[in-house]
Amino acid sequence: MQLSELKLISASNIIRLRTQAGFTQAELGEKLNYSDKTISKWERGEAIPDAYVLTQMAEIFGVTVDYLLSAHDAWENPNEVEDQEQGISRYSANVIIAIAVLGVWTMALSVFVLLWLLGYIVWQSFVVALPVSILTYMVLICVFNRRSHLQFVIAAFVLSMFVLLYFVLPLQKPWQLFLIAIPAIILVFLSCNIRRRPGKRPKIKNK
């Protein structure tokens, strides 16, 4: 296979995988620590990513490096192929996530109504359902490789845990908890945006 053909194949695969993942060129570039201009160059078939970047892409898109460098049918949807192998479609994944999250809140409502019928008003069941539902959502988007907004979900989960503690702890107004929540959420965003800078490759002199 000639280099020019390999460039076009990788370009086609990168475009399909990026669009199916819902990333813009800038967002993919941010994950790889490259500019959107470089991503555009790869997608135009003017260059091909090096082995390290291909490995990063394969991990982000949930495919193999060999998949990125192999020709596929023009009508083939890589994400759908992967989902079908697991017995799930992209639409089914969304439905599963929605059912799981709704199931958590249905359980909380059932507990609330049952205790209400017994003469107890325990609204804290909804407070408990908040972090549980966010955790359920976070796990499922990782399972179905929908991680584009994962850092926001983690931050929401951390905040929901502080909300839970606020209402559950036997204190009158433990508002001081939210003083801890602020740096904790900042740490989440900083941790999720750690990027490894690609090392400088040695220049190869032409003989």
Q: Count how many Cα atoms sit within 13 Å of the Cα of residue 64 in the half-sphere of its side chain.
A: 4
pLDDT at 80 exceeding the cut of 60: no
55-66 pLDDT, tens per residue? Answer: 999 999 988 988
How many residues appear in the chain? 207
Q: How far is Cα 43 from Cα 177, in angstroms, rounded to an integer? A: 48
pTM (2 d.p.): 0.52
Contact yes or no for 36/26 (Cβ under 8 A): yes
> pLDDT tens across 166-207, in order?
887 776 667 777 788 888 888 888 887 765 454 444 444 443
Residues 130-169: pLDDT tens digits? Answer: 999 999 999 988 887 777 788 899 999 999 998 888 887 7
The whole-number average pLDDT for the span 74-78 is 44
Q: Minimal CA–CA distance to 165: which of 126, 127, 113, 110? A: 127
Cα–Cα distance for residue pair 108/131, rounded to 1 Å = 12
What is the distance between the alpha carbons of residues 155 and 132, in angstroms, rounded to a whole number? 14
Cβ–Cβ under 8 Å, residues 97 and 144: yes
